[in-house]
Amino acid sequence: MLTQYINEMLDLPELKIHQILSIGTDAIHIEAIPLGDKQRCPYCKSDRDVIRKGRNDARTIRHLPVFEKKTYLHVPSIRMYCTRCEAGFVWVYEFVGPKQRYSRLFRAHTVELVLGSTAAHGARMQQAPVSTVQRMHNEAVPGQCEQIYEQVWEEAKTTAALVLGVDDFAIKKGHTYNTGIHNLKGETMLDLLPGRKLEDLQAYAQAHPDFLLLNPKAVVMDLAQVYHVWISECFPNAIRIADRFHVHGYVIESVQEVRKTVQHTLSPRAKAYLKANHRLLNPPAESLGEESRNRLEVLLNYSPLLRRVWEWKEAFTTWYDCSPNFAVAKLGFERWCKQGAQIEHTAVRGTLKTMCNWKEEIVNYHQCRWTNATVEGRHNRIKAFQRRHYFTRNRNRYRSGILVECHRHRMFS
C-alpha cells in the first residue's frame, strides 16, 4: 500500500509516513517523521533562531487501530535549541501530549467507548490495560463536564418560556438522595445537588446565583411539599405543575388496593387468575390488545366495586388527555372527584384527599403540558452509571460523571 493512503487512514496531517517497520498478527509498527523542519521557541515564540541539535530515543505512540490491528507510531524525539533565548526544548507533536504514549485520537476514542459502559469493556475493545483506560476516562471527564455545564446553562438562560423539571433519585434507597434540575424544553440536565431537604435546596440556591437568574415559565415536580415551597421562594411567578406520572401513580395504587380487597373474597381459582393478571388494570384500555382486553373483562366481572374504581381510573386518563383548556379542565376535575366520592373504599378516599389538596398544581398541567417523563428516563441512566462505577466516593468526580453520562448523546451526535 502506498504511504500516501496510510497517511489518510491515520488522519495525522503533521506526519509523513517514512516506512512500515513490521506487520504482525496483532500489531503494526510504522515509522513517521514530522513534515516541518522547525518549531517556534516556547519562550520568544519565534522560529528564526531555532536549530536542531540531534535526537533522543524515538517515541513509540499507540494510535487508532488499522485493519483491526494495534498501531504503533515510531516518531523521532528531536532536540531543538533557540540561539536567542539559549533555551533547549524537544519537538512538540500536536497529535500526542508531552510524555504520553497514547495519541489524542486514541484517548478520545477510548473515552467514548467507556461512556455508557465500563473500563473493563473499553480495555477489551482497545486491547489496553484497564488502569490506563480508567485513567484516561478520569482525566477527560472533568473537562468535558465543564464544557457541557457552560453550554446547557447558556441554553437555559436564553430559552424562551423555559420549563424546568425537579426530581430526586436515590443513591441508597431510603437513606441518601440527590436532586436533579432539568431543562425539559432543551432536554438537558442543568445540575445535580446533594440531598432533598429544604435546607439543602435553599443552600444550593444561595450558592448558585445563576439558578436564581433563570426565568422559568413553569416548573414540573412531584407532590413533595419541599419542592413546591422551594420553587415558590425562588420563582414566585412560575406555574407549579404536579407531574402527571406521579399523580397518575396515586390513582393506579388505589385501584390495586381495591383489587387486593376484592381478591380475598373470591374463590381460589378466581383469586389466582386476578392475581396473575392484575397488571392489566393499570394501563389505559385502548392501549391493550384484543386478548388482553378479553382477560381484563373477566377481571372486571369479578366485582362491581372493582369495575367502578377501574372506570374511575379510566375517566382520570381521559381527563388528562382530552381536556381542551384550563377552564374546562377545572370543571372536569371536580366532576371526577365527585365520581370518586361515590366509591366507598378507604384507598379511594385517601387518594381523593391527596388530589383535593393538590388540585391547583394538578390542573395546572392544562396550562403548560409538560411532564417529567424524560427526567425519569434519565434517572434510569444515572442508576446504571452508579452500578457500573460502584458509587464513586469522590463527589466532584461522581457529579461530573453523571452530567457527562446524561449528555453523551450531545457530545457524539
Superfamily of domain 153-243+371-411: Ribonuclease H-like superfamily/Ribonuclease H (3.30.420.10)
The radius of gyration of the chain from alpha carbons, rounded to an integer in Å, stands at 31
* Beta-strand runs (E) in 67-149: 69-82, 87-90
β-bridge mates for residue 82, sequence order: 50, 87
Give me the tens of pLDDT residue by residue for the chain, a chain 413 residues long.
Answer: 456 667 777 788 888 888 888 888 889 999 998 988 888 888 888 888 888 888 888 999 999 888 888 999 999 999 989 998 888 898 899 999 888 999 999 998 888 888 777 888 888 888 889 889 888 888 888 888 888 899 999 999 998 899 999 999 888 776 788 999 999 998 999 999 998 999 999 999 999 999 999 999 999 999 999 999 999 999 999 999 999 999 999 999 999 999 999 999 999 999 999 999 999 999 999 999 999 999 999 999 999 999 999 999 999 999 999 999 999 999 999 999 999 999 989 999 999 999 999 999 999 999 999 999 999 999 988 888 888 776 567 788 888 888 988 887 776 55
Asked if 231 and 240 count as a contact pair (C-beta separation under 8 A), the reply is yes
The Cα 71–Cα 3 span in angstroms is 15
b/e map of 48-66 (b: 16 or more CB within 10 Å)? Answer: eebeeeeeeeebebbbbbe
Confidence at residue 234, expressed as pLDDT on a 0 to 100 scale: 94
Angle formed by the axes of helices 130-158 and 104-114, to 10°? 80
φ, ψ of residue 218 in degrees (nearest 5): -150, 155
- The label of the residue with cell 370543571 reads 331
Asked if 220 and 199 count as a contact pair (C-beta separation under 8 A), the reply is no
For the chain, the domains span: 3-101, 153-243+371-411, 244-366
pTM score: 0.80
- The label of the residue with cell 388505589 reads 254
φ, ψ of residue 272 in degrees (nearest 5): -65, -40
Q: For residue 286, give every residue at least 6 positions away whose Cβ sits within 8 Å of its Cβ, in sequence order, or none.
A: none
Asked if 241 and 368 count as a contact pair (C-beta separation under 8 A), the reply is yes
The Cα 406–Cα 385 span in angstroms is 10
φ, ψ of residue 89 in degrees (nearest 5): -155, 170
